[in-house]
Chains A and B, each alone.
Chain A
Amino acid sequence: MKKYLPLIVLLLGAYSVASNLFIPATPAGSFDLTAFGRLPVLVNGRIKPLDTVARTSLLVLQNRQRVGDPASKEPLVASPAEWLADVLFAPAKADNYPTFRLSLAESPELVTLMGLTDKQINISYSSAMMRALAFADFVPKVRSRFSFNQIAPKLAELDRQAQLAEPVEPQLRTPFQKAVVQLRERVMLYQQLKHSLQLPDSPDFVSELGKFQQALPAGVEAVRARQKNEPYNETAFKVMIEMAKRYEVMESMGYLLAIPPADNDPNPSAWKKTGSALLETFATGSVNPNVMAYALLGHAWREKQPGQFNEVVHLYRDQLARRFATPLQKSDIETRFNAAEPFYKSMTLYAAAFFLAIFSWLKWPDTLGRSAFYLTLLAFVVTTAGIATRMWLEGRPPVTNLYSSALFVGWGSVGLCLILEKIYRNGVGSVAAGMIGFATLLIAHHLSLSGDTLEMMRAVLDTNLWLATHVVVVTTGYAATFLAGFLAIIYVLRGVLTKSLEKSTADSLARMVYGIVCFATLCSLVGTVLGGIWADQSWGRFWGWDPKENGALIIVIWNAVILHCRWGGLVRQRGLMALAIFGNVVTSWSWFGVNMLGVGLHSYGFMDSAFYWLVAFVSSQLALIALSGLPLEKWRSFRVRPASA
Chain B
Amino acid sequence: MHAVVRQFRDFFVSIRLTVALLILSMILVFWATLAQVELGVWGVQQKFFHSFFVLQEIPHTGISVPAFPGGYFIGGLLLINLLAAHIYRFRFEWRKAGILLTHAGLILLLLGELFTGLMSRESLMRLNEGETKHYSESYRQFELAVMDITDPKFNDVVAIPEAVLGDAGIVQHPKLPFQVRIHQYYPNASMQMRTQTPGLAPPGATAGIGPNITVMPLALNVKDSEGNTPAALVEMIAPEGTLGTWLVSPVLGQPQTFAYQGRTWEIDLRPQRYYQPYAVQLLKFSHDVYAGTDIPKNFSSRIRLTTDDHHEDREVLIYMNNPLRYAGLTFYQAGFDPNNDRNSILQVVRNPNWVMPYIACVMMGFGLVIQFGIHLFGFFRKRSAAA
- Complex Cα gap A526–B358 (Å): 11
Residues from chain B with Cβ under 8 Å of A46 in the complex: 290
Q: Does A206 contact B (CB under 8 A)?
A: no
Contact A547 B33 (CB under 8 A): yes
Q: Complex: how many Å from CA A561 to CA B371?
A: 17
Q: Which residue of A lies closest to B334 (CB)?
A: A539
CB nearest neighbor in A for B296: A459
Chain B residue contacts of A557, Cβ below 8 A: 22, 25-26, 29
| Interface 9-mer from B55-63, B196-204, B231-239, B362-370 | B362-370
Question: Hey, which chain B residues are within 8 Å of A533, CB to CB?
Answer: 357-358, 361
A540 CA to B293 CA in the complex, in Å?
Answer: 28
CB distance from A196 to the nearest CB of B (A): 12
CB of A305 within 8 Å of the partner chain: no
Contact of A551 among B15, B33, B361, B368 (CB under 8 A): B33
**Chain B 319-376 residues near chain A, CB threshold 8 A:** 320-321, 323, 330, 332, 334, 347, 349, 351, 354, 357-358, 360-361, 364-365, 368-369, 371-372, 375-376
Bound: A247/B113 CA distance, A: 59
A289 at the interface (CB under 8 A from B): no
- Whether the Cβ atoms of B23 and A43 lie closer than 8 Å is no
* Chain B residues bordering chain A, tally (CB within 8 A): 60
**In the complex, which residue of chain B has the Cβ closest to the Cβ of A569?**
B15
* Closest CB in chain A relative to B336 CB, distance in Å: 11
B379 within 8 A of A: yes
Q: Which of A104-112, A400-408, A514-522 contacts B (4 or more CB under 8 A)?
A: A514-522
Give the A-B pair count, Cβ closer than 8 A. 163
Question: Which candidate, A30-38, A85-93, A593-601, is the interface stretch facing chain B?
Answer: A593-601
Query: Given contacts A522-B369, A540-B351, A546-B41, is CB(A570)–CB(B320) below 8 Å?
Result: no
Contacts of A44 in B (CB 8 A): 290, 292-293, 295
Q: How far is the CA of A522 from the CA of B105 in the complex (A)?
A: 14
Q: Which B residues are CB-close (under 8 A) to A560?
A: 22
Closest chain A residue to B347, Cβ basis: A540
Question: Known interface pairs A459-B296, A538-B320, A539-B332. Does A529 touch B365 (Cβ–Cβ under 8 Å)?
Answer: yes
Measured CA separation A45–B289 after assembly (Å): 8
With a cutoff of 8 Å between Cβ atoms, the chain A residues found around residue B360 in the complex are 529
Structural contact, A545 and B354, CB atoms closer than 8 A: no
Tell me, rounded to whole Å, the shortest Cβ–Cβ distance linking B359 to chain A: 11
Partner of B354, one of A530, A536, A597: A536
Q: A539-B347, A545-B49 are in contact. Are A45 and B323 (CB under 8 A)?
A: no
Quote the shortest CB–CB distance from B363 to chain A (angstroms). 10
Q: Judge whether A515 and B349 touch: CB under 8 Å.
A: no
Q: Of residues 35 to 49 in B, which have CB atoms within 8 Å of A's CB atoms?
A: 36-37, 40-41, 44-45, 49
| A561 & B368 in contact (Cβ 8 Å cutoff) | no
Judge whether B26 and A561 touch: CB under 8 Å: yes
Are A568 and B16 neighbours in the complex by a CB distance under 8 Å? yes
Report yes or no: A459 in contact with B320, Cβ–Cβ below 8 A: yes
B30 at the interface (CB under 8 A from A): yes
Min C-beta distance of B305 to chain A, whole Å = 17
Question: Is there a chain B Cβ closer than 8 Å to A638's Cβ?
Answer: no
B254 sits at the interface (CB 8 A): no
Among A43, A515, A586, which residue has its beta carbon within 8 angstroms of that of B375? A515
- Chain B residues lying within 8 Å of A423, measured Cβ to Cβ, are 383
| A554 interface residue per 8 A CB criterion | yes
- Residues of chain B within 8 A (CB-CB) of A43 are 292
Q: How far is the CB of B334 from chain A (nearest CB, A)?
A: 7
* Given A540-B122, A541-B120: A45 in contact with B292 (beta carbons within 8 A): yes
Task: Tell me if A541 and B349 are in contact (CB < 8 A).
Answer: yes
Contact B368 A526 (CB under 8 A): yes
Mark B75-118 against chain A: 1 for CB-CB distance below 8 A, else 0. Answer: 00000000000000000000000000000000001001100100
Q: How far is the CA of A578 from the CA of B41 in the complex (A)?
A: 33
Closest chain B CB from A350 CB (angstroms): 27
A586–B25 alpha-carbon span in the complex (Å): 14
Produce 1/0 per residue, A533-568, CB < 8 A to B.
Answer: 110111111111111001101100110110011011
Query: How far is A542 from B290 in the complex, measured between Cα atoms in Å?
Result: 29
With a CB–CB cut-off of 8 A, which chain A residues contact B323? 537-538, 540
Contact with B along A586-609 (1 / 0, CB 8 A): 100100001001111000000000
Q: Does A11 have its Cβ within 8 Å of any Cβ on chain B?
A: no
Residues of A within 8 A of B357 (CB): 529, 532-533, 536, 542-543
- Once bound together, how far apart are the Cα atoms of A385 and B300, in whole Å? 36
Shortest distance between the CB of A250 and any CB in chain B (Å)? 15
Contact B372 A597 (CB under 8 A): no
Interface positions of A (Cβ within 8 A of B)? 42-46, 257, 269-271, 423, 456, 458-460, 462-463, 466, 511, 515, 518-519, 521-522, 525-526, 529-530, 532-534, 536-547, 550-551, 553-554, 557-558, 560-561, 564-565, 567-568, 570, 586, 589, 594, 597-600
Question: What are 8 A-B contacts with C-beta separation under 8 Å?
Answer: A45-B297, A271-B291, A459-B298, A538-B332, A540-B330, A554-B26, A564-B19, A598-B37
